[in-house]
Amino acid sequence: MTVLVIDDQIHVVDGILSEVDWDGLGIETVWKAYSAAEAKGILLLNQVDIMLCDIEMPGENGLSLLKWTLDQGMETECIFLTAHADFVYARTAMQLGSFDYILQPARYEDIENAILRVKQRIKEKRDQKKYYSYGKTLFEERDRITDQLIGEWYQEPENGGCCRKLLEDMQKMGKPVCNTSPARLLLCQVLKWNNAAWDRELFRNSCANILEELLQEWEQKAHIGSLNQEEYIFILYGTVQKQPESTKMWEILRKFFSAAGQFFSCDMALYVGNMVMFEDMPCELAVIRQLKEDNVARRSGVYRAENGEDRVEPQIRQPDFRTWEKLLLQGMGKQVYEDAMRYLQELSDADCLNAGNLQKFYSDFYRVICLAEERTDTAWEDIFTEEEQRQTALHAYETLSDMQLFLKTVTSYFSGEEVDAGRAVGQVDAIKEYIYHHLDSDIRREDIAVAVFMNPNYVSRLFKKVEGISLKEFIVQEKMKMARALLLNSQLPVSIVALKVGYSNFSHFSQVYRKFFGVSPTDERKR
């Protein structure tokens, strides 16, 4: 299992990482993050089973982060850390589905016990889900159930017990795969149906017939499990005495690939494992899954694992992400897109365009987007306005085509309208004028946009380009300058001064003022 520790206090995170007995708890991987934004980046790229999260953090708090994981459909259990004064927040967290909360300062023993409890809950949930659909229809729908068995094994191949259970259950389903004879594992991925998609049952039965006909001389059997409309698991098995030699098997599989592509009128990729005993198949499954993931360009063909220990990847110049960030802020998204596509093409030409490199590129570019969003007062939803776009963006690292769409959407957003300098200054002056007249209210970018007849996104980009600071920063700056003038030149109570600059929460006003001037509003008046 995996854990993500989130807290804005570095010493708290480091203490938990060093003092908790992760190995004893059976935790394979532990990530750390110092903010909700950093945590989101990790959650998007990794399967996180447990979050150990502080509730109160600057910016987005832990409650908001938990709600975000729920909105994303993530099955991540959450243990909150909370101060005694934040007990109400903890109760709210429980209502959101948090597993537990621990009072700070937390004992490491308490953290370990909480993790053990949440691990048990995760196991119970997964077991319940695993056996939920088993029942009376066992023999009536054996093909569907066998597909389910193979699908579960496909998801958790490292579980040796799962492998033995699959053998036993397939025997019960009338699929006698024997552990004393070698078998071969294939993964077939349908990339595109050139005509209407075939019915899954008809497709898999036809594939089994074609393969068994090609392997008839060696008395080989083929079982095909359909994972979904695009992916099928092939298990080829027979007696140890009759096995086609490797070259012949490769020839047979190429014949099958060609015949199936023509017969079913589809483009497909076939990922081929080695001939192994069934108990060793989890390792082979990992190999062919990696072959599939590395085919990010979704090219048709027959793929088999090669010994890459001696292969040295060519050195390809890494993109200058800092320059890309500056170009996005300058409205030169088109150039960033061209540079990015050029880099991906270089990876492809060098045969280095695989899952690992595409994921690394996504992670690096995602950080560029986060910085650009922060400095232009832009939200993720501003860039990806449609739900389909947002879903593509979240999984853009999986395929080259999704990555291209992702890059196009982002760079198009930051390809700002060209405006002459004089007109730009005039537009920014109008924005400032609105701000100066509404310092006593909660100034929203959307309200400014309506007042100056501009698009909200364009307002942010234009202001940043002309003034050198974000719209949000400027608003806070002017509010604090007005607050200081009122404190020094009037006898108004500090709470009234806060209201006059649009802060209904006195505590928040004091925090912002202290951060801006280095002194509290009360102490400012005493000086």
Give the global pTM: 0.50
What is residue 307's predicted lDDT score, i.e. its pLDDT? 46
- Name, in order, each residue with C-beta under 8 angstroms of 439's C-beta and a sequence gap of 6 or more: 478, 479, 482, 500, 501, 502
- Output the 3-class SS for 152-209: HHHHCCCCHHHHHHHHHHHHHCCCCCCCCCEEEEEEEEEEEECCCCCCHHHHHHHHHH
Grouping H, G, I as helix, E, B as strand and the rest as coil, residue 304 is: strand
- Using CA atoms, how far residue 355 sits from 40, 178, 298, in Å, is 20, 34, 11
- Name, in order, each residue with C-beta under 8 angstroms of 218's C-beta and a sequence gap of 6 or more: 238, 242, 243, 244
What is residue 39's predicted lDDT score, i.e. its pLDDT? 95
Q: Per-10-residue mean pLDDT for the chain, 527 residues long?
A: 93 92 93 94 94 89 90 90 65 70 84 91 80 50 67 65 69 63 87 88 87 86 81 81 81 92 92 83 85 92 68 76 88 89 91 91 92 79 80 90 91 67 81 92 87 76 84 93 92 91 91 92 83
Q: In whole angstroms, what separates CA 314 from the centre of its chain?
A: 28
**How many angstroms separate the CA atoms of 263 and 360, rounded?**
38
Would you list the domain boundaries of the chain? 2-130, 137-304, 323-413, 421-526
**How many angstroms separate the CA atoms of 135 and 240, rounded?**
35
Regarding beta strands 77-82 and 100-103, do their DSSP bridges make them parallel or antiparallel, or are they unpaired? parallel
Tokens found for residue 132: 């939920």
**Greatest C-alpha distance within the chain:** 100
Closest among 167, 234, 224 to 200, alpha carbons compared:
224
What is residue 241's predicted lDDT score, i.e. its pLDDT? 67
What is residue 331's predicted lDDT score, i.e. its pLDDT? 78
Do 3 and 30 form a contact (C-beta atoms < 8 A)? yes
Tokens found for residue 126: 């997964």
What is residue 358's predicted lDDT score, i.e. its pLDDT? 94
CATH homologous superfamily of domain 2-130?
Response regulator (3.40.50.2300)
Grouping H, G, I as helix, E, B as strand and the rest as coil, residue 350 is: coil
**Integer distance in angstroms from the first to the last C-alpha of the chain?**
56
Fold of the domain spanning 137-304: Alpha-Beta Plaits (3.30.70)
The length of the chain in residues reads: 527
Closest among 406, 408, 400 to 337, alpha carbons compared:
408
Give domain 421-526's CATH number out of 1.10.940.10, 2.40.40.20, 1.10.10.60, 3.40.50.180: 1.10.10.60
Phi, psi of 455 (to 5 degrees): -75, 135
